[in-house]
Amino acid sequence: MAKIVVLGLDGFNPEFVRQWSNELPNLMKMQKEGIWGSLESIVPVTIPQAWICAQCGRGPGSHGIWDFTYRNEFSYSETKVVSSEITRRVDLLQAILPKMGQRVGIISVPVTWPSPKIPAGYAISGLMTLSLDRGFTSPDSLKDEVYKLVGDYIIDVTEADMDCSKIDKSHVLKNIYDMDSQRFILTKYFINEKNCDYVMTVVMGSNCILNLLYRCFDSKGKYYDSDPCYKDILHDYYVWIDKNVGELGKSLPRDVVLFIHSGYSIQKLDGRINLNEWLIKEGYMTLLEYPMKLTSLKDVKVDWSKTECWSTGYGGKLYLNMKGREPKGIVDPKSYDELLDELAAKLKDIPDKLGNHLNTQIWKRDDIYFDSYAKYGPDLFVNFSEGQLGTSELLGHGREKIYSFDTAKDSDDVARGLSGYFVISGPDIPAEGELKEVSLLNVAPTVLDILDLPIPKNMEKPSVLSMVKKGEATYSKESERAVRSRLESLGY
């Protein structure tokens, strides 16, 4: 029976992999010997949601996670912060596999604090870890092994509200590489010394570099930092990842499959649409008092008796104020679809800052999600300019100020795109090349298939291996030209 290492590369962009393919020999070798392609993410594109969905093979309606926060009831804000406790709503691979006799190890996976207790397995918590003193590892004794192997453990190098113009670039960059090196060391340890059948590791460096240092290589950006020492940092990071992928591959026993994937792609952010400001302008939201400074929705005095719709977070999420659902709902349930259609049409008419048409995507929740927690989710999702124009819930920009373009001063100055990257190679993986129409929801069933284990019927997508058997692997000159055109639009 095979074993598997799943290496998550947070924000790894398939377009950059194609652009620098000549300098990524190990990834190219995996592509040649296995299956690879773009990986469709989950709407809306957020870190917690993406990694949870990948591990359970089910959409967010099964667990109710749409962002870093969520609501359990029909409140006017997402008041609860995600943690590993919430993932118990749905069976993740880390819970499924031990029941099938598999030894599991997870390393730095988002939403794993406090570290879950895995029978005969191991866990090191990831992003959103609140303390290294408690809940950092499972079992607790694993912490001593971690420190012995890698020294002081680096959870994350991204700092909220960081002014990117003032950071010490060399210090931040060193921390990113040190952090990711720890992940590779621990991955080898779990598979070779801890004898795990399944290891999942998430490496966050791509996300961190882009969040903190995008200004260094975006020559068209307003805050471009022309320091020649840092102009190639993203390219160099991808080359470094490739080198480590090669070293990891050489260290794996012959019976181990390596499955690399991202949850979405990190890309340039051109600005934001202030959705609540737009809703006020269009008459869908009314305030009792307009804030004098930038203020989160939960701290704004909203007149809910005159508000039909509001937005939360940064992921293009809109909720209707439904009668009989929200505490002060006013929208008649009979008008639900009609109002959503009206909003969708108007959102699609929002132009860019120069008045040009935007490529805007709209989804109704009921058209794409189902299951027990779907009812608590947003009613409408909007994605402007393939994610390159983000959204904001903040109010106080100035009355009817719909656009915000001064984003690159802060640490959150990048966008998350809907296309991630994946490649699988190893024993019994066919050399099929590029496979299209693969989703994050294909990840969990593929892992089970590779391990020759039954796939639960509630997983929403098939294994990639079963898709290959249907002859769906394709590649063409047209797709290459499309990628080149997309790269030019991104400014590369």
pLDDT tens profile 409-434: 544 567 888 999 999 999 999 999 99
Cβ-contact 421, 435 below 8 angstroms? no
User: Alpha-carbon distance 154 to 133, whole Å?
Assistant: 13
Note the pLDDT of residue 471.
Answer: 56
Pull the structure tokens for residue 141: 């004794």
What are the structural domain ranges in the chain? 3-268+416-490, 271-406
CA quadruple 228, 232, 234, 239: dihedral, nearest 10: -150
Q: Is 45 exposed, middle or buried (0-12, 13-18, 19+ CB in 10 A)?
A: buried
**What is the mean predicted confidence (pLDDT) over 474-484?**
44
User: Alpha-carbon distance 123 to 117, whole Å?
Assistant: 7
Q: Please give the mean pLDDT across all residues of the chain.
A: 90
Note the pLDDT of residue 476.
Answer: 37
- The CB density around residue 301, as the number of other CB atoms within 10 Å, is 11
**What is the mean predicted confidence (pLDDT) over 91-109?**
97
Note the pLDDT of residue 408.
Answer: 47
Least confident of 113-127, 292-306, 478-492: 478-492
Residue identified by tokens 């809703």 is: 279
Note the pLDDT of residue 406.
Answer: 59
Cβ-contact 418, 43 below 8 angstroms? yes
- The CB density around residue 465, as the number of other CB atoms within 10 Å, is 18
What is the largest distance, in Å, between two alpha-carbon atoms of the chain? 66
Residue identified by tokens 């019994």 is: 428
Task: For domain 3-268+416-490, say whether CATH 3.40.720.10 is its number.
Answer: yes
**What is the mean predicted confidence (pLDDT) over 182-196?**
98
* Alpha helices for 282-423 (secondary structure H): 336-348, 365-368
pLDDT tops 90 at residue 223: no
pLDDT band of 479, cuts 50, 70, 90: very low
pLDDT tops 50 at residue 490: no
**What is the mean predicted confidence (pLDDT) over 5-22?**
96
- Measured in degrees and rounded to the nearest 5, phi and psi for residue 199 equal -125, 130
